[in-house]
Amino acid sequence: MNDKVLIHHGSGGLLMRNLIHDIFLRYFDNGILKSMTDSAILVGKSGHFAFTTDSYVVDPLFFPGGNIGKLAVCGTVNDLAVSGAVPLYLSVSFIIEEGFSISDLEMIVRSMADEARMAGVKIVTGDTKVVQKGKADKLFVNTSGIGFIEKRYTGLSHGKGTKPGDLVMINGTIGDHGIAILNARESFNFSSGLSSDCTSLNKFIQTILRNTGEVRFMRDATRGGLAAVLCEFAEKSGLGIEINENSIPVKEEVRGICELLGFEPLHLANEGKVVIIAGNQSGSKILDVMKKQKAGKNSSIIGRMVTDHPKKVKLITSSGGSRWIDLPSGEQLPRIC
């Protein structure tokens, strides 16, 4: 490993995975953490619960479709929700640079309160630190969350019941958040229609779980994008994954900007997209439930689990060829969440 932390170590890709395994897991050695799920699944006297934490350093703080406050609530709620949990309580901590605008802080806090209310969670504890001018970049936010989880859903984070032939699904267009942040940060003014997909998915996910069966695995496709989720799950499951480029929803504006700037849509961050692995027999019903909800109107079955090429992800291209999909090896766009 390089002796210095690089910006690429925060990408959600290969370097970040190496950092986690070589440093953090080496010293924070326990079975719960080693499961490497979005939320820790814990057992208490009254049942199972999920616990998660995340920090947000997005630049700019305000962007089309949200701001750092809304993003922090949505991100933590979604990490609980994809674990099968019902999110209940959040903590929030602020690290504020001296001189930061009080009115901007109030806007961010108000948006957090609004999003928490819509998601049905309560912000119940927190912390505030202020550092000298120049010692931080405006504002950093940390949120942690806790929710209860029914015993039957405790395996969703691991996907241990996944079988060959199971379907790979996603609830809408990919890359929206990453490109919206890029456009806002660099003032490219590519399109007035570009907006982050930042949203809380807990009610959407609970509706799927309550009304369908055979959901094997869920993960929100944030840093590292769809590619990171699929590559990590292929390795974890021991199966191969085959996806079809024509079935993956991508907005034309996002596709065009990616082609212009050399980005890979599969690697771009999302903040309102969940990847679902589901049994083949239940696929059409799950897709129907997804499409009936606002968060899933552009849902699609994009591929399936296969026995061929174990632990690898293959993309069938729109031209009829194929190529391997790998974990992102660098940082396409730092500070997107």
- 63-80 tens-digit pLDDT: 999 999 999 999 999 999
Q: Regarding the domain delimited by 167-325, which CATH topology (the fold level of the hierarchy) does it fall under?
A: Phosphoribosyl-aminoimidazole Synthetase; Chain A, domain 2 (3.90.650)
In b/e form, how buried is each residue of 282-308, taking b as 16+ CB within 10 angstroms?
Answer: bbeebbebbeebebbeebbbbbbbbee
- 298-323 tens-digit pLDDT: 999 999 999 999 999 999 999 999 99
- Give the start-end residues of each E strand in 221-321: 240-244, 274-278, 300-306, 313-316
Contact 282, 140 (CB under 8 A): no
- Give the start-end residues of each E strand in 19-115: 40-44, 47-56, 62-63, 66-67, 86-97
Contact 86, 151 (CB under 8 A): no
CATH number for the domain formed by residue range(s) 35-153: 3.30.1330.10
| Confidence band for 1, pLDDT divided at 50, 70 and 90 | low
pLDDT at position 333, please? 79
Over its C-alpha atoms, the chain yields an Rg (Å, rounded) of 19
The pTM of this model reads: 0.94
> Where exactly does CATH 3.30.1330.10 map onto the chain?
35-153
> Where exactly does CATH 3.90.650.10 map onto the chain?
167-325
- What gap in Å lies between CA 319 and CA 163, rounded to an integer? 28
- 212-260 tens-digit pLDDT: 999 999 999 999 999 999 999 999 999 999 999 999 999 999 999 999 9
